Chain A
Amino acid sequence: MTRELNFESPSFAKRIKGMLGVDFYRLFHTPLFYIFLAISAIIPAMVSAMTMMPDQSGNTMEPLYSNVWQIIAASEPLYVIKGIADYANMNMVFIFGGIMVSIFIGHDYKSGYVKQLFTTHAKKQDYMMSKSLVCAFAMACMCITYLIGGTVGGLLVGYDTAVNVASLIIAILGKMIMSLGWASLYTFLNIIFRRYFGISIASSFFFGTGILIIGAAAIVENLSIPTWFLNIFLYGSSVNACLVSDIWSLVICIAVSIAWAVIYNLLGTRILYKSDVY
């Protein structure tokens, strides 16, 4: 049988819709996403509950927080981490998110499904964009479950609830928006280490936990770098979204997150074009 061959180039919108559709389908049809949503809800609840539990001699620990909303965001921008509570807020989503992105992208390569994607998608930016957006969505959802878990845990423990509502909303929105920048960074790292699943997870973990950031933080402390400069980076603008944030903090989050997302997407796409993908 012979047939007429018609090769119509799919538009950018059609291509990205297809790729996003696959990633969203996978996100909602595999347990990974739901496990990480649950982790994001349980961890803050556990942290707040554990700080109020008596130790073996019956003494109650010094509470990490004085206010429910400190479980969600720090009272002020804390660029240098001094205690666990400085980072044990919604920023922890960026740690869980890093691991989730590594597993999500790692499965693409491990299963070989990535071959189907790259066979039919000649434009490799589709892959980078889709992964960044879908993982950002997943991390933003994790921020919401973190908010729920942290609030419920804090209320049950009996922390104070007084807060500037506008700042709280800005802090939450800011961190959700920062998910895009973080997700793009993790996608980029996973593209670099795509052949090495373990290294992908480790690199995401190091960036997310701040093992690299804590090192940077020590330098920050010694050098007294101005905060406007620190806010240029993902970590800086993430901690800048706190309980004293104003609309300007939100603008910074939007600008920084989008800027880094674009940078990481361009770099990742370049790597995919220049090197063997599978």
Chain B
Amino acid sequence: MNAIEIRNLSKSFRGMYAVDHLNMTVPVGAIYGFIGENGSGKSTTEKLICGHLVPDEGEIKLFGRDYTDPGVRVRVGALIENAGCFPGSSVYQNLRMQTINLGLENPDEEIRRVLEIVRMEDNAHLKFKSCSLGMKQRIGIAMALLGDPALLILDEPINGLDTDGMRIMREILVDITQKYGCTVLISSHILGELEKIATHYGIIRQGKMIMELSAAEMDSRAQVFVSLKVRDMQGAKAVLKANFDTIKEEEGYLRVYDVDDTAANVELLMKNGHAPSEIKKNKIGLEEYYIELMSQTETEKEEK
């Protein structure tokens, strides 16, 4: 069974498709990184799943049930755009309202539990408006975590956070899936952070899902390359070109792609009088992969 299964989902605003016949599959227990540029339809898709928007067509199933089923929706927690809290009320009051909304039996215990998860147990008395951005995001997650959700939908939860805030958020998200068995759909622009936690990825462009893959598949597709710094870049490039297929000059380095053997590069350059001053072995990350994929789809589009 999948946590989310979307088929042929579309949503348009003033005749323009924000989500265009989208298909999506999120397995139970996954941390699904939902990636796409601004305006690609990530938030619209998330709002459609949460029932905030009415789709033009298509089907959304959550845990095998229609998304309008009250039984399944009561087990969905969401943080979309902002925490959705009353600014003049305290953190406790905002959480208390959500416990009442969900009909939870031990509200104070439940509030303490979620505040501990988001590391804010000492801040319940604070007015929501006096909290920092990072705290507000964490309160939003705490709100979404109330009532034992089976699915969490988080829209850009790490945007605007400092390094420490991002680290805390990352730990929280891993905790949620490992300790509570929650499925998480998370959209973010900060691909480096997403890469550290996601088990699956979905890449959306102009409302269409262009690729879905697991982290393992992503890893197997990621190219390995060796970065070299030499004094005579052009000379070294010419030497390497005779022996390797893909050589690029990027960020002040010569990058030799699809080569695992660093020694072979060094030996070849040394032989030809281009001793490298710096050598690094790298693997293409999610960000580079995403940029590459985007440029490929752009080229394909232009060719059409």
Chain A residues within CB distance 8 Å of chain B? 1-3, 5, 7-10, 14-15, 17-19, 21-22, 25-26, 29-30, 107, 111-123, 273-278
Contacts and interface: CB of A to CB of B under 8 A. Distances in A.
B103 A115 contact: no
A113 B65 contact: no
B100 interface: yes
Interface residues of B, number: 48
A111 B100 CA distance: 18
Contacts of B81: 112, 115
B71 A115 contact: no
18 contacts: A1-B177, A5-B28, A5-B150, A7-B75, A9-B70, A10-B71, A18-B102, A25-B100, A26-B97, A29-B89, A30-B88, A111-B84, A119-B51, A119-B78, A121-B101, A275-B54, A277-B52, A278-B53
A114 B63 CA distance: 24
Contact of A115 (B50, B72, B73, B74): B50
A8 B87 CA distance: 33
A116 B100 CA distance: 12
A273 B55 CA distance: 11
A112 B139 CA distance: 14
Interface of A is mostly: helix
B70 A10 contact: yes
A118 B50 contact: yes
Nearest to B97: A22
Task: Choose among A8, A18, A115, A120 the residue with the greatest number of B CB atoms under 10 Å from its CB.
Answer: A120
B101 A8 contact: no
B69 A111 contact: no
B111 to A, nearest CB: 13
Interface stretch (B178-186, B246-254, B270-278): B178-186
B62 to A, nearest CB: 9
Interface of B: 28-29, 47, 50-54, 63, 65, 67-78, 80-89, 93, 96-98, 100-103, 143, 147, 150, 177-181
A270 to B, nearest CB: 12
Contacts of B69: 7, 9, 122
Given A120-B102, A276-B54, 11 more contacts: A5-B75, A7-B65, A15-B70, A18-B103, A22-B97, A30-B89, A112-B82, A118-B50, A119-B51, A121-B101, A278-B47
B100 A119 contact: no
B29 A122 contact: no
A114 B84 contact: yes
A8 B86 CA distance: 29
A133 to B, nearest CB: 15
A3 B29 CA distance: 9
A111 B97 contact: no
Contacts of B50: 115, 118-119
Task: Choose among A114, A119, A273 the residue with the greatest number of B CB atoms under 10 Å from its CB.
Answer: A119
Contact of A107 (B68, B72, B86, B102): B86
B86 A111 contact: yes
